[in-house]
Chain A
Amino acid sequence: MSVPKPSAAAPPANGDGGAAPRRRTRRPVPDEAGVVGVLILLVLGVGLFQPDFLRTGNLLTTAHNSVYVGLMALGMVFALAMREVDLSVGGMYAMGVVVGALLIRDGWNTWLAALAVLALSALVGALNGAVTTYLRLPSFIVTLATAMLLRGVGLALAEGKQITDLPQGDALFRVLGGGELLGVPDAVWVFVLAVVVLTVLFTRTRFGARVRAIGSNPEAAEFGGLPVARTRIAALALSGLMAGLAAVLALAFFIAGDPTIGQGYELTAIAAAIIGGTPLKGGTGSVLGAAAGTLILGAVTAALVFFEVPINWTTFATGGVILVAVGAAPLLRRVRDVRDLRAVRDLRSPGRNP
């Protein structure tokens, strides 16, 4: 930044920078490039040993299975980027599935019931944000409590049982559950659409910039008058909304309301977001990276089946993959930061040939 323009009124004392030609910086390589590359290499690598893994049907099934936790990971990016965390998404997901199933069983229009689930999830997410903000409590504690509250509500409403007697031929179940477009399940299209919309929201809107700014320097945000409380409430509402959307898709696919669904999904969603380049320290993040992180975890789970790893070891293996991935991420980031720093220094160096 201290590269002075030729027209600078007050030239620097050493005078060696005044004649530096104006250079344009190239935009840095997107943060997501690494994790998307790892995903592709992983899929191709497994396919090398297990060619059936690369069958379109298998890949689409793997993607479809990843959609639910994936949607939660996308919302989690906003919470983590603000230095918050939302541990309630798993409970929200279970409650959403149960509430949706109950409303439909009670005769509600299925689409209206789906909308009600979305609204309820966003509202509970906003409440998470409001309690965090106004009681000045860590979101970790607040959402840990609401996770149990919500799962408890789901279990109580469903009386601990699956709600199954739903109208299977209804349009919601046919379209969002079993429907396909161009051979790709509709749920996967919803996920793709969510990735696009939330990427734009995170990177190209004032809201997204505020989320990142508050996470980057909360003191400066307070001092500068950014709407910290409002933004936190909105970010956690968005996280809740994504869990609600996952619940609607799950309800449509399973055509049942299972109150025990989604155990541990909140931690998988956090892991996926971190693998995708969203650090716990906030300030930055990647929606596309979180999607890729989810797909990496989904691909590993699927690959373990192909390699006939005993079912009891799959959880262990998934944990190992998460550990390796989150361990490698900072290493890759450090390499990239050093490279970026060199690029900035090169740019600032007046003696460098353009």
Chain B
Amino acid sequence: MLVASGLVKHYGGVTALDGVGITLDAGEVHALVGENGAGKSTLVKIISGVVRPEGGAIELDGEPVRFAGARQAAAQGVAIVSQELMTYDDLTVLENLFPYGAPRRRGLVSTREMRRLAAPVLEELGIDPPLHARAGELPLADRQLLEICRALLLEPRVLILDEPTSALPREAAARLAGVTWRLAERGLAVLYISHFLEEVMRIATRVTVLRDGRVVLPGAGAADVSLDSLVTAMLGQPAAHGAGPAAAPGGRSGTEPAAAPPGRRSPSPASRSPAGCGTSR
């Protein structure tokens, strides 16, 4: 569905991406992992139109595309939920769901229409927010889910979730995992960026690993990759005990899978995780 190839980007004298490519297929959850500074954020910003690459190409359904901004990318079906919280805390929950172009009736924004459009997405996420409350009054985790709602309302074909669970408690992350699978089953291509390798192993269909601005593991089937080999690909060497790359700062603890999709393997990360590798959350 989306094919990016040969992407190059420098920031000053630093090479952020050096000929990176990635292929996202409909119906898959494609994880993108790498250490901090590996180029993950730059790659997703390029794919979502926020940053323009210096070289390379992006094709959407076989057609070359060049996004002038996030809004144009969204209009063509590529939506991103950013790592940074992008809610408008002074606006109502409902207004936050339609920041680009709220539905109108006789030229005025229609609250009723917004409710009607939002209802199925809220239903799908399994949440019931106070729609007229200011978004800033919601807890952090809820605001993150609000952003995911907003992205889904754009009816994307490619959905980029950049560290979507970093602020979520375990039950919310589990719910999000279920939603992610359902979206993929619906035919969306989901690019899932996370520091939490066990989460990646649970959720992803395929995994791409970046290291120092290059792809070191291109779209490997998640079932064919062990946690150890993933860590090795990220670091360029086997993980040393107690110095893992994916240590979660605070957040949830525990290693059991939140929920496994029907028909998918349900790994036991606790038994597979290299001891002290910091992949638990």
Task: Give CA–CA (A110, B178) in the complex, Å.
Answer: 68
**B174's closest neighbor in chain A, by CB?**
A10
> What mask results when residues 112 to 139 of chain B are scored 1 for a CB within 8 Å of chain A, else 0?
0000000000110011111111100111
Contact call B132/A27, Cβ cutoff below 8 A: yes
**B98's closest neighbor in chain A, by CB?**
A209
Task: Choose the segment among A1-9, A60-68, A93-101 that binds chain B (4+ C-beta atoms closer than 8 Å).
Answer: A1-9
Give the residue of B85, B86, B137 whose beta carbon is less than 8 angstroms from that of A341. Answer: B137
Among A10, A12, A283, chain B packs the most CB atoms within 10 A around the CB of A10
Contact call B142/A1, Cβ cutoff below 8 A: yes
Contact call B70/A209, Cβ cutoff below 8 A: no
> What mask results when residues 84 to 105 of chain A are scored 1 for a CB within 8 Å of chain B, else 0?
0000000000000000000000
Which residues from chain A contact B90 at a C-beta distance below 8 Å?
212, 215-216, 282-284
**A window 8-42: CB within 8 A of B:** 8-10, 12-14, 22-23, 25-28
> What mask results when residues 216 to 249 of chain A are scored 1 for a CB within 8 Å of chain B, else 0?
1101110111100000000000000000000000
Contact call B138/A223, Cβ cutoff below 8 A: no
A213 CB within 8 Å of chain B: yes
**A21's closest neighbor in chain B, by CB?**
B128
Task: Choose the segment among A112-120, A133-141, A199-207, A294-302 that binds chain B (4+ C-beta atoms closer than 8 Å).
Answer: A199-207
Task: Give CA–CA (A219, B102) in the complex, Å.
Answer: 20
**B window 29-75: CB within 8 A of A:** 49-50, 69-72, 74
Contact call B82/A223, Cβ cutoff below 8 A: yes
Give the residue of A4, A209, A221, A344 whose beta carbon is less than 8 angstroms from that of B95. Answer: A209
> What mask results when residues 313 to 354 of chain A are scored 1 for a CB within 8 Å of chain B, else 0?
000000000000000000000000100110110010000000
Which residues from chain B contact A340 at a C-beta distance below 8 Å?
133-134, 137
Which residues from chain A contact B128 at a C-beta distance below 8 Å?
1, 3-5, 22-23
Among B71, B131, B137, chain A packs the most CB atoms within 10 A around the CB of B137
Among B102, B109, B146, chain A packs the most CB atoms within 10 A around the CB of B109
B272 CB within 8 Å of chain A: no
Which residues from chain A contact B70 at a C-beta distance below 8 Å?
223-225
**B133's closest neighbor in chain A, by CB?**
A344
Q: How far is the CB of A47 from chain B (nearest CB, A)?
A: 36
* Residues A10 and B259 in contact in the complex (CB < 8 Å), given A1-B129, A224-B71: yes
B265 CB within 8 Å of chain A: no
Contact call A204/B142, Cβ cutoff below 8 A: no
Contact call B74/A225, Cβ cutoff below 8 A: yes
* Residues A225 and B127 in contact in the complex (CB < 8 Å), given A2-B172, A205-B107, A212-B88: no
Contact call B132/A28, Cβ cutoff below 8 A: yes
Contact call B175/A225, Cβ cutoff below 8 A: no
Task: Give CA–CA (A132, B229) in the complex, Å.
Answer: 53
Chain A residues within 8 Å of chain B by Cβ, number = 45
Which residues from chain A contact B133 at a C-beta distance below 8 Å?
25, 28, 340, 343-344
Q: How far is the CB of A276 from chain B (nearest CB, A)?
A: 16
Contact call B101/A216, Cβ cutoff below 8 A: no
Task: Give CA–CA (A340, B109) in the complex, Å.
Answer: 24
Contact call A206/B109, Cβ cutoff below 8 A: yes
Contact call A217/B137, Cβ cutoff below 8 A: no
Contact call A2/B100, Cβ cutoff below 8 A: no
**A81's closest neighbor in chain B, by CB?**
B90
Which residues from chain B contact A8 at a C-beta distance below 8 Å?
126-127, 175
Contact call B69/A1, Cβ cutoff below 8 A: no
Q: How far is the CB of B97 from chain A (nearest CB, A)?
A: 11
Which residues from chain B contact A215 at a C-beta distance below 8 Å?
90
Task: Give CA–CA (A215, B95) in the complex, Å.
Answer: 14
Contact call A25/B130, Cβ cutoff below 8 A: yes
* Residues A4 and B99 in contact in the complex (CB < 8 Å), given A14-B171, A225-B70: no
B243 CB within 8 Å of chain A: no
**B48's closest neighbor in chain A, by CB?**
A223
**A window 185-200: CB within 8 A of B:** 200
Contact call B175/A12, Cβ cutoff below 8 A: yes
* Residues A217 and B87 in contact in the complex (CB < 8 Å), given A1-B93, A28-B133: yes
The 29 listed contacts between A and B (C-beta, < 8 Å) are: A1-B129, A1-B146, A2-B141, A5-B128, A7-B123, A8-B175, A9-B126, A10-B126, A10-B178, A13-B170, A13-B171, A14-B171, A23-B128, A25-B132, A28-B133, A209-B95, A210-B99, A212-B90, A213-B91, A215-B90, A217-B87, A220-B85, A220-B86, A220-B88, A224-B70, A225-B49, A340-B133, A344-B137, A347-B130
Closest 10 CB pairs of A and B: A8-B126, A225-B71, A283-B90, A1-B129, A1-B142, A10-B178, A220-B86, A12-B171, A25-B130, A216-B90
Known: A4-B128, A7-B123, A216-B90. 5 other contacts (CB 8 A): A1-B139, A2-B141, A13-B171, A204-B109, A344-B137
